[in-house]
Amino acid sequence: MTVTKTLWVALSLVSTGAWANPAPVTELGRNNTPNQQLGTSGAGTLEQRLATLERVVEARAQGQIRMQQQLHLLLEEVSQLRGVTETHTYQLDEMLQRQRDLYQEIDRRVSALQSTPAATPPVSANQNNVPTVSYSSNMSENDAYDKAVNMVLKDRRYDAAIPEFEAFLQTYPQSGYAPNAHYWLGQLLFNNNELAKAKTHFERVVTNFGDSSKVPDALLKLGQVAERENNKEAALKFYRQLIKDHASATSARLAQERIDALK
């Protein structure tokens, strides 16, 4: 609408100039008046300039739209990368946890080989230097526990290991292996996303076997269960309890990392 009005004013000015300075009759017939030609040329130039300005404005607008689209895509990529990083961090923590479990089982088996059946059951010290019975003189008990553990470490039959640990705990509820068995069972159920059952076994480690070296790891897993249940407050509670009661444990460092991530 503004462009049309501007053109109308320009044409009016040119027309007024033509009436004020009439051209000779002889040139009117031959050249169709120079002032009219000038007026037409001036109008054409103005239209071209306005058209050029419109093209410039449109090009800039399109450029801004493209920049906004690119910025939106970059923000989405950053968000995706952040999610991938958090996933990898969690998976690394899980891998480190499995390695610790494996090293503990290797150490237990080496110590068991060095002991004799007639000897007093060897003991090991936990994080608070409180002695706890680690091995049994009952060979059937040892065999039953080893069978369940081997399904995880050697055969990797994780689902089949669950009933083996359950049967072991039912047969030997007061075994020196009980805290480890509860922890292994909780870990297997946690991996299957059976969070309620997993939580029960981790809680039994903390509540019933407070002297066990598996307590710090069980507290860490309780925090992870709470995170999966979207219970941030409960997760922070378990992590802080772990750091307070077992500050020297390796799992305490992982707990601090989770606290920092949840803040």
Percent of the chain topping pLDDT 70: 62
Residue-level pLDDT at 88: 67
Compare 19 and 94 and report the one with higher pLDDT: 94
Residue-level pLDDT at 99: 60
Average pLDDT, whole number, for the chain? 74
160-181 confidence digits (pLDDT tens): 999 999 999 999 988 889 999 9
Residue-level pLDDT at 3: 44
Segment among 40-49, 121-130, 195-204, 247-256 with least mean pLDDT: 121-130
Whether 119 shows a pLDDT value over 80: the answer reads no
Compare 204 and 116 and report the one with higher pLDDT: 204
Residue-level pLDDT at 76: 77
What CA–CA distances, in Å, run from 15 to 3, 12, 247? 18, 5, 94
Residue-level pLDDT at 20: 42
30-78 confidence digits (pLDDT tens): 444 444 444 444 446 888 888 888 888 888 888 888 888 888 788 877 7
78-114 confidence digits (pLDDT tens): 777 777 776 666 666 666 566 666 655 665 555 554 4
